[in-house]
Structure 1
Amino acid sequence: MAIVNVTDQSFNQEVEGQGTVLVDFWAPWCGPCKMIAPILEELDTEIGEQVKIAKVNVDDNPESASRFGVMSIPTLIVFKDGQPVDKVVGLQSKDALKGVLSRHS
């Protein structure tokens, strides 16, 4: 499955009721966000069948960021059946993200 770009308008449709979804709140000017992007691509290749990965550009979609209390980026929130169940802030390794996801998938 490919990584999906989500907007404020499409957030509910793309995330809620979709099983396990990892949402990356990011911005184009954020260095750590650029560093985590290839890690998310690798995760999508490895476990994309079990976990949907979505990205929300906080500059273009401030409502979603505000709704979930995103104060720093990158912030990654794990949603299970539409409900936020876990949150990690800052650059994470692929193994760390796999560990977080394994608790919820």
Structure 2
Amino acid sequence: MSNKNSNIINITNNNLDKILKKSKKLLLIDFWATWCNPCKLLSPIINEISYKYIKKIEVYKINIDENKDTVSKYNIKTIPTIFFFRNNKLLYKIYGIQTKSNICSLIDKHLKLFSNI
């Protein structure tokens, strides 16, 4: 299900694997919780990024309280945590509150690498 006014899709334990296997784009997955203040600060940044890279990446959010299987599978210990996947492979992960420029530089780096292949 998509958020209104957003390009971000909320995902669950049930559809994460399917999304990872199906997508050929760079995926940004934000692990968060409703009670997490750093997550609340990061949320508008993630939303801006979802628009900036609208045709180039896919942006997802997964609530850790509602998706314990995924939290265990990926050993999520800190939130917010952002994972980047491509072709069903975890490329890198970042922890804690991040600046928009830091996240964008990681995305740009990957997109540039991929465009050279």
- The normalised TM-score by structure 2 is 0.85
Amino acid at match of 2:80: P
Give per-residue Cα distances to partners, 1:14-57, cap 9 Å, x unaligned.
23331210000000000000000000110011112101000000
Counterpart for residue 44 of structure 1: 50
**Pair 1:7-2:46 in alignment:** no
Give % identity.
29
Shift of 1:11: 0.5
Runs of 4+ in 1 over 3 A off after TM superposition: none
Matching of residues 30-69 of structure 1 within 5 Å: 30-69=36-75
Contact 1:80 1:104 in 2 (8 A): no
Where structure 2 has 5 or more consecutive residues not aligned to the other structure, the ranges are 1-5, 112-117
Instruction: Please state whether the residue corresponding to 1:39 is helix, strand or coil.
Output: helix
In structure 1, C-alpha distance between the alignment counterparts of 2:65 and 2:9, rounded to whole Å: 17
Decide which structure has the larger Cα Rg and report it: 2
Question: How many residues of Structure 1 are paired with residues of Structure 2 in the alignment?
Answer: 105
Determine which structure has greater relative contact order: mean sequence separation of CA pairs < 8 Å that are 6+ residues apart, divided by chain length.
1
RMSD: 1.2
Counterpart for residue 103 of structure 1: 109
Amino acid at match of 1:24: D
